[in-house]
């Protein structure tokens, strides 16, 4: 049961992931979490390096989507900036429905897709419940976390420590 909470891979950030290796392993789709994965929690702008990376991945023919528990308020600009890429708010992660909808939108199977996120109990658990490969990245800025997220991160650290010891 604990395996459902543990990532298939851990990376420092979205920039340290070996996307070429993922492509060679047969992954064709990438699903990104937003808050504390691409930018700080509750961001209103993203660093241009994020858009440069996304443009590079698009040129490499990755299909991409973004899934967030954020309500989307103040983030309408993202639809234009992400150039028609699937963007889902109110995802209610770790529930499966929005992950499955995202797979349909990408027209990919779970085994062809990787989820990249910063939280075990939302991003990783939700994706694993759908059979999606998972990559846990360190949060962009934990200082921006709300108190419920801070509480969950403490439990996440305990799980990750147990994984490290095995």
Kindly report the length of the chain. 166
What pairs with residue 31 in β-bridges? 65, 115
* 3-state DSSP assignment of residue 33: coil
Helices (H), 8-109: 19-24, 48-59, 77-81, 97-106
> For position 94, which CATH number holds?
3.40.50.1000
Mean pLDDT value across residues 111-128: 95
pLDDT of residue 19: 98
Give the CA-trace dihedral at 31, 102, 153, 42, to 10 degrees: 80
pLDDT of residue 159: 72
For residue 138, how many other CB atoms are within 10 A of its CB?
A: 14
Which strand (E) or helix (H) includes residue 152? helix 147-165
Q: Which domain holds residue 80?
A: 2-165
Tens digit of each residue's pLDDT (9 = 90 or more) over 72-114: 787 778 877 777 678 888 899 999 999 999 999 999 999 999 9
Mean pLDDT value across residues 115-143: 92
Task: Return d(Cα 86, Cα 67) in angstroms, integer.
Answer: 8
pLDDT tier for residue 166 given thresholds of 50, 70 and 90:
low
Give the global pTM. Answer: 0.89
Selected residue with higher pLDDT from 67 and 148: 67
Instruction: Give Cα 156 distance to the centre of its chain.
Output: 16
pLDDT of residue 84: 66
Selected residue with higher pLDDT from 142 and 28: 28
Total of domains in the chain: 1
For residue 130, how many other CB atoms are within 10 A of its CB?
A: 18
pLDDT of residue 126: 96
Tens digit of each residue's pLDDT (9 = 90 or more) over 4-37: 778 999 999 999 999 999 999 999 999 999 999 9
| Contacts of residue 93, Cβ cutoff 8 Å, sequence gap at least 6 | 33, 67, 69, 99, 122, 123, 125, 126
Task: Return d(Cα 82, Cα 32) in angstroms, integer.
Answer: 12
């Amino acid at each position: 049961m604990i395996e459902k909470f543990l990532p298939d891979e851990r990376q420092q950030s979205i920039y340290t992931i070996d996307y070429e290796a993922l492509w060679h392993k047969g992954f064709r789709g990438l699903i990104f979490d937003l808050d504390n994965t691409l930018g700080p929690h509750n961001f209103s702008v993203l660093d241009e390096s994020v858009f440069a990376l996304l443009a590079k991945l698009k040129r490499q023919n990755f299909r991409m989507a973004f899934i967030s528990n954020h309500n989307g308020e103040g983030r309408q600009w993202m639809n234009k900036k992400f150039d028609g890429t699937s963007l889902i708010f109110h995802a209610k992660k770790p529930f499966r429905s929005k992950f499955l909808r995202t797979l349909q939108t990408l027209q990919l199977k779970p085994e062809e897709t990787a989820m990249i996120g910063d939280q075990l109990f939302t991003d990783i658990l939700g994706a694993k419940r759908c059979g999606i490969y998972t990559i846990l990245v360190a949060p962009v800025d934990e200082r921006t976390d709300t108190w419920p997220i801070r509480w969950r991160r403490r439990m996440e650290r305990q799980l990750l420590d147990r994984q490290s010891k095995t």
